[in-house]
């Protein structure tokens, strides 16, 4: 039953986006009363956590190929490229994972968060591997990782939340690509 609800929720989320999902149309989709949902989920937040888990899983899958690259520097670059690519291709999922405010209280004990932590750890480890192999002079893996993440997240979130309107629409992706190339070049000097 829980999985039936989740499946419906995910489908509606994919079709109509975050704002299109609500308890009433999920209930309608599975042909139950809205009240029934509350027998299987404490509230809407708990349901969203599950959606977030789905998003985290989708993201992990999207990043997976990068994770298998041997050379840490190439791995880092591909990881970054794929992270950004995921954000641009699945704005709703990215939004749910990294922007949405709603279900963020007490997230640390949720599956989705653990999955995110794991991915983040992998990212930091890759930076550390680059340091170990002398790709960077700097030795602060945490700060390097965070800096790169901020840049990538900044690009995706400014795009998703439509704060790039000063650039003509057809130039936005190009600018992002140029910026990614630039941060890679900048990172080489670290």
Partner DNA sequence: AAAAACAATGAACGCCGTTCAGTATATTTG
Partner DNA sequence: CAAATATACTGAACGGCGTTCATTGTTTTT
Binding site for a copy of itself (CB under 8 A): 98-101, 104, 107-108, 113, 117, 120, 138, 140, 142-144, 146-147, 149-155, 157-158, 161-163, 165-166, 175, 178-179, 182-183, 185-187, 189-190
Of 64 and 102, which CB lies nearer to DNA in the complex structure? 102
Q: Which does 35 bind (CB under 5 to 8 A by kind): DNA, a copy of itself, none?
A: DNA
- Decide: 123 and 151 in contact? Cβ < 8 Å: no
CB of 171 to a copy of itself, least distance (A): 9
Residue with tokens 């949405």: 100
Q: Which does 104 bind (CB under 5 to 8 A by kind): DNA, a copy of itself, none?
A: a copy of itself
Residue with tokens 């809407």: 44
Q: Using the CB atoms, write b or e for 55-76: b if 16+ within 10 Å.
A: bbeebbebbeebeeeeebbebb
CB of 122 to a copy of itself, least distance (A): 12
Give the list of residues 6+ apart from residue 176 with CB closer than 8 angstroms, or none. Answer: 84, 88, 155, 159
How far is residue 30's CA from residue 32's CA, in Å, rounded to a whole number?
6
Report which of 156, 152, 148, 154 is spatially closest to residue 131, judged by C-alpha positions: 148
CB of 123 to a copy of itself, least distance (A): 11
Q: Which does 32 bind (CB under 5 to 8 A by kind): a copy of itself, DNA, none?
A: DNA
Of 6 and 131, which CB lies nearer to a copy of itself in the complex structure? 131
Give the list of residues 6+ apart from residue 161 with CB closer than 8 angstroms, or none. Answer: 99
Of 57 and 104, which CB lies nearer to a copy of itself in the complex structure? 104
CB of 162 to a copy of itself, least distance (A): 5
């Amino acid at each position: 039953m829980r999985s039936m609800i989740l499946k419906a929720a995910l489908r509606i989320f994919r079709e109509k986006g975050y704002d299109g999902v609500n308890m009433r149309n999920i209930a309608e989709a599975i042909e139950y009363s809205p009240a029934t949902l509350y027998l299987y989920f404490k509230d809407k937040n708990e349901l969203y956590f599950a959606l977030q888990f789905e998003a985290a899983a989708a993201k992990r899958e999207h990043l997976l190929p990068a994770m298998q690259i041997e050379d840490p520097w190439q791995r880092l670059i591909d990881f970054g490229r794929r992270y950004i690519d995921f954000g641009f291709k699945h704005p709703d999922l990215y939004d749910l994972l990294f922007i949405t405010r709603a279900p963020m209280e007490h997230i640390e004990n949720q599956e989705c968060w653990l999955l995110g932590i794991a991915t983040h750890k992998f990212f930091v480890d890759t930076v550390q591997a680059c340091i170990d192999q002398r790709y960077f002079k700097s030795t602060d893996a945490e700060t390097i990782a965070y800096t790169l993440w901020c840049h990538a997240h900044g690009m995706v979130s400014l795009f998703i939340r439509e704060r790039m309107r000063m650039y003509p629409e057809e130039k936005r992706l190009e600018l992002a690509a140029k910026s990614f190339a630039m941060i890679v070049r900048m990172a080489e000097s670290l």
